[in-house]
Amino acid sequence: MTLDLAAPVEVLAKALIDLPSVSGDEREIADQVEAALRACAHLEVTRLGNNVVARTTLGRAERVVVAGHLDTVPIASNVPGRWADDGATLWGRGAVDMKAGVAVQLSLAAALTEPTRDVTWVLYDQEEVEETRNGLGRVSRERPDLLQADFAVLGEPTGGVIEGGCNGTLRVDVTVQGKAAHSARSWKGVNAIHHAAPLLQALEEYEAETIEVDGLKYREGLNAVGISGGIAGNVIPDSVTVTLNYRFSPAWPLEEAKERVEKFVQAAFTAHPETLERWQAAPDELALVYSLVWTDEAQACRPGLDAPLARSFAAAVEATGAESPRAKLGWTDVARFGVLGIPAVNYGPGDPELAHADDERCAVSQIREVRAGLEAWLTS
């Protein structure tokens, strides 16, 4: 079996679904994708592990990256795929996340021999597993030159709407100090859990901001996602750790986002001077009242929808009947482009709520619409 990139895009999507490629097992699909793209004389193809990069080299003024991942989550009796609703729906693992999107990309990579912008098609592996294995991450580390572009489109399912950029995410462990003592003589200790009250109170009162970036609205979030403290049922706890997760808009570079969290924590405690006084009145003065340890950080990505290149893309997509672009709130691989300084958006067929579902399925009309949107943009 070889992939026929000239087939109708939904037929190509089904062929991709029928080629199992659970994360870590992408060799065969990568081999077939590579072979099919190498057959296109207008593309310069590079293979890096199970990642395939195919570029036009027409010397255009602008270059865009269009990327998609080849892997899926594990199969749930939904491979091979099947047609439903008299052929209007394609069922199967990856119908949404994201073999329909990959089919759009491969179909256009073969068809568009002379796009108006140079295009770098990136098909990568291991997106559905831990971050360190991510194929796009590998390409960006080992061959960042291959990803250089003015704009990037990631084909993740968005229901055929442009979802621009993505929020960043930070995790930090805030540890509040206390002093252990037997709970029958609690006044000899300092209760760290009690002293975390101002932080929780500040979180309870916190109203997440919605911040507009390049015309899109990013709703933020600052949440305790974990808390733990206590030694034993008869001991005053000597520390408590609150894990905070800050989802921050592309308005803030990583360092500024961290500063915002640091200031929030500091303000929480200084707003409750009585707690600070209790600390200072503690039997042995506690040098450190709280400390922050960053455990996870991923920067946000701007949508770049204010640039002419992106505006033309948005116009082409809206011409397919799609809704206006909106902000992407979850963190996605577009942020890898953010790290390289390339604005990026998500745009692909399929209802994201059905990704990973046992009854994963996609409307054929949406696959065609997304193909039409991208084609219009790359040929206008």
Active site residues: 71, 127
Q: Which residues contact 287 (CB under 8 A, 6 or more apart)?
A: none
Q: Is 134 in the site for a copy of itself (CB under 8 A)?
A: no
Q: Is 312 in the site for a copy of itself (CB under 8 A)?
A: no
Q: Is 197 in the site for a copy of itself (CB under 8 A)?
A: yes
Nearest alpha-carbon partner for 346 in 157, 72, 215, 213: 157
Minimum distance of a copy of itself from residue 154's CB (angstroms) = 16
Tokens at residue 156, please?
A: 């993740």
Residue with tokens 């109708």: 8
| Identified binder of a copy of itself from the candidate list 186, 266, 291, 380, rule CB under 8 A | 186
Q: Is 245 in the site for a copy of itself (CB under 8 A)?
A: yes
**Residue type at 240 in one-letter notation:** V
User: Residue 240 or residue 317: which is nearer to a copy of itself going by CB?
Assistant: 240
Phi, psi of 45 (to 5 degrees): -105, 135
Segment lying near a copy of itself (by CB under 8 A), choices 44-52, 109-117, 166-174, 317-325: 166-174
> Would you give the binding string for a copy of itself spanning residues 276-305, x where CB under 8 A is met?
--x----------------xx---------
Minimum distance of a copy of itself from residue 234's CB (angstroms) = 7
User: Residue 144 or residue 230: which is nearer to a copy of itself going by CB?
Assistant: 230
User: Residue 35 or residue 232: which is nearer to a copy of itself going by CB?
Assistant: 232
What is the DSSP secondary-structure string of 121-184?
A: EEEES--SS-GGG-HHHHHHHH-GGGG--SEEEE----TTS-EESB-EEEEEEEEEE-B--BGG
Give CA separation, 251 vs 246, 302, 340, 347, in Å.
Answer: 13, 8, 16, 21
**Residue type at 28 in one-letter notation:** E
Please answer whether residues 166 and 332 qualify as being in contact, where contact means their C-beta atoms are separated by less than 8 angstroms: yes
Size of the site for a copy of itself (CB under 8 A): 52
User: Interface with a copy of itself by CB under 8 A: which residues?
Assistant: 167, 169, 171, 182-187, 191, 193-198, 200-201, 203-205, 208, 219, 221, 223-237, 240, 242-243, 245, 247, 274-275, 278, 295-296, 329-331
